[in-house]
A = this chain, B = another copy of it.
């Protein structure tokens, strides 16, 4: 579902991807780089205090927050960076919503020596200024997209528009397991490093497979990444979407766990989209910018259809509570996105047996979210700090 002009570019990418996938040396090189540049394998941390607190299943946390740049996004971008080298291209573009994928891509581009342009909705540019700052410092050009709702989906559209113009020397580093083929498969493949590690780690630590695995679902790349290596196992897979202000309010981003979405075609691929009867995309809402997206990975949509992955949603309020508990109990600061997975795990763990274990994928770290989290906690000292800083700037 892409414009005709991209057909050959996509074919070339698909070929490069298939060649890489069937070349064991490629994966080995990828693993080596992720071990030397980021800190893979990321640990699987036993959450002793949360386990005691809930008195049910043993809770393990997969620590993607420890990755370089602070989230699982690093896996995908470094993988695609290797492919870009194979294809001999010199420029990368990417969309970004919360900014994490943009920072990750800018980082990869700096490391790999590519020129880099990041498309970001103008609203997100305003809200996520720290990430914009770092992208620029890393050498990327950040383009604020003033079209549509001026958020993630509009950034994707604009990145596609760049790509159809510059595909000869440019690769589009799509940030999640969405978009035209082969992006969903490719991103999920790179992210599957999460689940491969977790599968080996949980068996080493507990002697068996987990009962359930929880991951938040925006585009779906961290969920695909941890789920897929367990797909043939007797492990229940639970995806948690953004319930926003409650699915009943319509202000949410629950595509699979709530009845609001329908199959459609947009942004180059077919999946469940939050759309109206005419097929126009709806506004979405989540406290977590990275989950605030109308579409969802077609791989997850398919696993939903098969009943292989169960989908739930967590509201903004529940997310802030789960984050607060996790910080105090374990000294971990999951991203607001990741905190969605914690919400559902916390609901279910108490009703499980101490003989069972569960894994929560902590896809990213939350300290990047200070402006949002401080607002969510309505921290008055933070407000004073910002006000004082603004005053200092005004007087400078």
Residues of A within 8 A of B (CB): 35-39, 42-46, 49, 63, 66-68, 70, 106-111, 113, 126, 129-130, 132-134, 136-139, 324, 327-333, 367-368, 370-371, 373-374, 377, 379, 381-383, 385-391, 393-394
Task: Please determine whether A110 and B329 come into contact, CB atoms closer than 8 angstroms.
Answer: yes
A137-B327 CB under 8 A given contacts A381-B132, A387-B390 = yes
A373 to B373 Cα, complex, angstroms = 21
Q: Are B36 and A44 in contact (CB under 8 A)?
A: yes
Q: Give Cα A377–Cα B379 distance, bound, in whole angstroms.
A: 28
Q: How far is the CA of A186 from the CA of B327 in the complex (A)?
A: 27
Task: Kindly report which residue of chain B lies nearest to residue A108, judged by CB atoms.
Answer: B331
Knowing A66-B68, A328-B139 touch, does A43 contact B49 (C-beta < 8 A)?
no
Q: Please name all residues of chain B whose beta carbon is closer than 8 Å to the beta carbon of A133 when the two chains form the complex.
A: 370, 373-374, 379, 381-382
Task: Count this chain's copies in the assembly.
Answer: 2
The majority secondary structure among interface residues of chain A is: helix
Contact of A330 among B110, B130, B134, B327 (CB under 8 A): B110
Q: Is the CB of A138 within 8 A of B328?
A: yes
A107 / chain B contacts, CB cutoff of 8 Å: 331
Given A110-B329, A130-B370, A133-B374, A46–B42 Cβ distance below 8 Å?
no
- A35: chain B residues at CB < 8 Å are 43
10 sampled A-B residue pairs with Cβ under 8 A: A36-B45, A66-B68, A111-B331, A126-B385, A126-B388, A129-B382, A130-B367, A133-B374, A383-B393, A386-B393
Return A273 CB to nearest CB of chain B, in Å: 31
Distance (Å) between the CB of A116 and the closest chain B CB? Answer: 10
Q: Which of B110, B134, B389 is close to A386, meaning CB atoms less than 8 Å apart?
A: B389
Sample of 19 more A-B contacts, CB < 8 Å, known A37-B43, A39-B39, A139-B328: A36-B43, A37-B45, A68-B331, A68-B332, A110-B327, A110-B328, A111-B330, A111-B331, A129-B385, A132-B381, A133-B373, A134-B367, A137-B324, A138-B327, A138-B331, A139-B327, A367-B368, A386-B390, A390-B391
